[in-house]
Chains A and B, each alone.
Chain A
Amino acid sequence: EIVLTQTPAILSLSPGERATLSCRASQSVSRYLAWYQQKPGQAPRLLIYDASNRATGIPARFSGSGSGTDFTLTISSLEPEDFAVYYCQHRNNWPTFGPGTKVDIK
């Protein structure tokens, strides 16, 4: 089973700042990695798939990069609505999620 590790667990930033979230896989997942955003009381929302493709309707301030075992989600300038928990996920026969990074207001 592929294990995903996300760092940091909590990221405290102010609106307008740049957020950099990391996801590391225990073995190569090629570019088969996605990022989801979840706000309290809501279902997750797909942000990025195949490591760097933005899903429909996702603002350009969200970008993804990486391949193999190391991936990054970048939010170029945090908006108030971006404070949430972010999960990475890989896909194969048995998809798994990382434990999440909480981006909260400093």
Chain B
Amino acid sequence: QVQLVQSGAEVKKPGASVTVSCQASGYTFSDYYLHWVRQAPGQGLEWMGWINPNTGYTNYAQKFQGRVTMTGDTSISTAYIELSRLTSDDTAVYYCAKDLRGVADWFGPWGQGTLVTVSS
């Protein structure tokens, strides 16, 4: 079955960068866009962007442009998100989610989430 397994929790200082990974299995990784969504503590869901693992093409939410980089490694079916210049507002659970039908579609299934805590 389709499964997305994310890397473990991170604690970072303000101004640092963080990289979260998402390893996919159960489907052809390069055939489906991969989305990243975050959720601050007690808050709602915020879409950050997607990557086409086949081409490397990305589409970032305007809020994160210049600060986020999404990449993929098809040889190991793994996607990455790097977020730089962290502030306390970036404390959140970061989720990856497979595109439902391939091309900037709905999100499903999701990884288990990675908690990123930004604290001095």
Contact = CB atoms under 8 A, between A and B. Distances in A.
Interface string A33-63: 0101000000111100110000100000000
Contacts of B108: 45-46, 49, 55
B interface residue count range (under 10 / 10 to 19 / 20 to 34 / 35 or more) = 20 to 34
State the majority secondary structure of interface residues on A.
loop
Interface residues of A, number: 20
A99 B110 CA distance: 19
Interface in B24-62: 35, 37, 44-47, 59, 61-62
B47 A46 contact: no
A43 B113 contact: yes
Interface of B: 35, 37, 44-47, 59, 61-62, 95, 97, 100, 104-113
7 contacts: A36-B45, A43-B95, A43-B109, A44-B107, A45-B109, A46-B100, A89-B45
